[in-house]
Amino acid sequence: MTAEVVRIEGLHKSFDKLEVLRGIDLAVREHEVVCLIGASGSGKSTLLRCINLLEAIDAGRILIDRTDITLPGVDANKIRRRIGIVFQAFNLFPHMSVLDNVTLGPRRVLRLPRDRAEDDATELLARFGLADKRTEYPDRLSGGQQQRVAIVRALAMHPDLMLLDEITSALDPELVAEVLSVVRELAAGGMTMIIATHEMGFARDIANRVCFLDAGRILEDGPPSRIFSAPTEPRTRQFLDRVIAAGRM
Amino acid sequence: MISPSGLPAQPAVSTGRRRRDGGRSILIAVVSTLVFFSVIGWVIVSSPSWPLVQHDFFDAEVFWRYLPVIGSAFVTNIALFLITEVLVLILGLFIAVLRSLPGPVFFPVRLVAIAYADIFRGVPSLLIIYVLGFGIAGLGIPGVPNDPFFWAAVSLTLVYTAYVSEVYRAGIESIHPSQAAAARSLGLTQAQALRYVVIPQAVRRVIPPLLNDFIGLQKDTVLVSYLGLVEAFRTANIEQQSIFNYTPYLALSVIFLVITLPLTRLTDYLVARDRRRFLAGAR
């Protein structure tokens, strides 16, 4: 059995009076790909942002490699550099070229010399078909290209874990495939990932496990073959029926 | 019928009409402008005291005689605003960053920064120049210079840093938090996120309002004449009193326009360009 990368116990998170996460328990092992599905507002994004310490949690524990990262005095920056996150809206830095976007973390956080960071970035960009975009600025790229650059930017830190937060939701339908194929390649390479997604077909293909979130709880957790064909919870069935009716699966 | 470009004649007719419309609006604009300024000019020139005013304010001979004198005194104003602008650019950003430091620990720092910006924006520049230039300089503290140029630069720097820090702060706050979040998610510290991601974007965004404040600063250099600094305004003032003619002020106004107009036009151009970009970005 491979090692546990993430363990979440009894995680609660509220924004003012709105309780978004109401007791999440989840463990993810090395090389595992876990997809979070559920309606908008069910807490998928908030859960990912909590794992990366971008949101302060109210109760519970998050362990990364068996170290509790929610204890006071933990260096959040040290944790974050090992966890890559890719956002729905790409969040590339518009004032920097693609190369500078990708090398910012390695140069300023890992303190790599410029030429080494750039060699590394160039190699990663080439691997994902972006070699000729090195010197472009983000606003000159298509949405699909921007999102692939954002993935490369996260990968450049050589993270142990990748969090993907609905990374195809802001894309035109014809651009979704190129981004998903990048994620497939990462999965094939053994990257541990937690993926919040509305792409059910993709989740079924790529996930080792699928978690259905409803109102801030993980209602159902299992292999995609079971969740998608024989969900036990009525809420899961209802959600999947709606997704099928909407033609998203 | 085939137009010179080889295209069918139909579009050429419609562009032709548009061009004629363009020509007509230019004609209307020219006529309307001529009428407007002729009427105003006629009202002024035909007023009973016009010859007197013309002699006192628009004496061509006096204008050309004093333009070089005032121009060479204007070097002091240029030196003053160049030095002040550099200091303001640096200090303004520093104050803005202090004011955006998060957390309860930095509350006193934020408080001082807010109080500073409020006071120096709320008190007329002239009063600040008086208080610092005569008050502090008059204390006679050893080592503190009482050179009027020094205190002029200090006063203007303090006043305009207060304005510019607010401009920077607005720029910093206009950068979407997702940018800082993306930087933090790579492991950058708060300070690094500010330095490499937020501030570079904020500064680009506030260049037009910054230039606007600089135009104000350049004009306000005349205020320091009250400290006894013989700069361009004081020179014009001295000449006016010796010849009982106000034309030297006109000469100084023209000098100011030569300096500020290009900056004004540049600012307008940058504002228009930003708006075009914003509209293009909004799609």
Note which residues in 45-64 of chain A have CB less than 8 A from chain B.
Answer: 52, 54
Asked whether residue A124 is assigned to any structural domain, the reply reads yes
Q: Which amino acid is at B37?
A: F
CATH of the domain at B130: 1.10.3720.10
Contact call for B178 and A85, based on CB within 8 A = no
Asked whether residue B138 is assigned to any structural domain, the reply reads yes
Q: Give the pLDDT score at B3.
A: 44
Query: Domain containing B228: what range?
Result: 65-282
CATH of the domain at A175: 3.40.50.300
Residues A73-118 pLDDT 10s:
888 888 888 999 999 999 999 999 999 999 999 999 999 999 999 9
Asked whether residue A99 is assigned to any structural domain, the reply reads yes
Q: Give the pLDDT score at B279.
A: 62
Helix locations, chain A, DSSP H:
44-51, 76-80, 98-108, 114-127, 143-155, 173-188, 200-206, 224-229, 234-245
Number of domains observed in the structure of chain B: 1
Q: Give the pLDDT score at B120.
A: 94
In terms of Cα–Cα distance, which of B209, B200, B112 is closest to B160? B209
Q: Give the pLDDT score at B185.
A: 94
C-alpha torsion sign, points B246, B247, B253, B255: negative
Q: Which amino acid is at A109?
A: V
- How far, in Å, CA of A23 to CA of A10, rounded? 4
- How far, in Å, CA of A199 to CA of A180, rounded? 10
- Nearest Cα of chain A lies from the Cα of B83 at a distance, in angstroms, of 29
Asked whether residue A18 is assigned to any structural domain, the reply reads no
Asked whether residue A64 is assigned to any structural domain, the reply reads no
Q: Which of A94, A105, A153 sits opposite B201 (nearest CB)?
A: A94
Residues A177-224 pLDDT 10s:
899 999 999 999 999 999 999 989 889 989 999 999 999 999 999 999
Average pLDDT, chain A: 92
Can you give the C-alpha Rg of chain B in angstroms?
26
Residues A3-29 pLDDT 10s:
899 999 999 999 988 999 999 999 999
Asked whether residue A27 is assigned to any structural domain, the reply reads no
Q: Which amino acid is at B93?
A: L
Please list the rounded mean pLDDT of every run of 10 residues in chain B (283 residues): 45 52 86 94 90 86 89 91 95 92 88 93 92 83 84 94 95 94 94 94 90 92 88 89 89 92 88 72 42
- How far, in Å, CA of B87 to CA of B158, rounded? 9
Asked whether residue B204 is assigned to any structural domain, the reply reads yes
pLDDT band at A243 (very low <50, low <70, confident <90, very high): confident
Asked whether residue B12 is assigned to any structural domain, the reply reads no
Q: Which of B185, B186, B204 sits opposite A95 (nearest CB)?
A: B204
- How far, in Å, CA of A137 to CA of A92, rounded? 9
Query: Domain containing A97: what range?
Result: 32-55+75-245
- Angle A55-A60-A65 from CA coordinates, rounded to 5°: 80
**B278 vs A195, B54, B160, B275, B283, CA distance in Å?**
32, 48, 28, 5, 9
DSSP states of B42-100? HHHHTSTTHHHHHHHH--HHHHHHHHHHHHHHHHHHHHHHHHHHHHHHHHHHHHHHHHT
Q: Across the A/B interface, how many CB contacts are shorter than 8 Å?
A: 57
Can you give the C-alpha Rg of chain A in angstroms?
18
Instruction: List, in sequence order, every residue forming a beta bridge with A195; answer none if it has no partner.
Output: A35, A164
Asked whether residue B144 is assigned to any structural domain, the reply reads yes
Number of domains observed in the structure of chain A: 1
Asked whether residue B266 is assigned to any structural domain, the reply reads yes
- How far, in Å, CA of B137 to CA of B130, rounded? 10
> The complex's ipTM?
0.91
Side-by-side strand order, sheet with A4-15 = A18-29, A4-15, A59-64, A67-68
- State which residue of chain A sits closest to B178, comparing Cα positions: A91
Asked whether residue A8 is assigned to any structural domain, the reply reads no
Asked whether residue A118 is assigned to any structural domain, the reply reads yes
Quote the DSSP letter at residue B6: S
- How far, in Å, CA of B229 to CA of B222, rounded? 9
Asked whether residue A102 is assigned to any structural domain, the reply reads yes
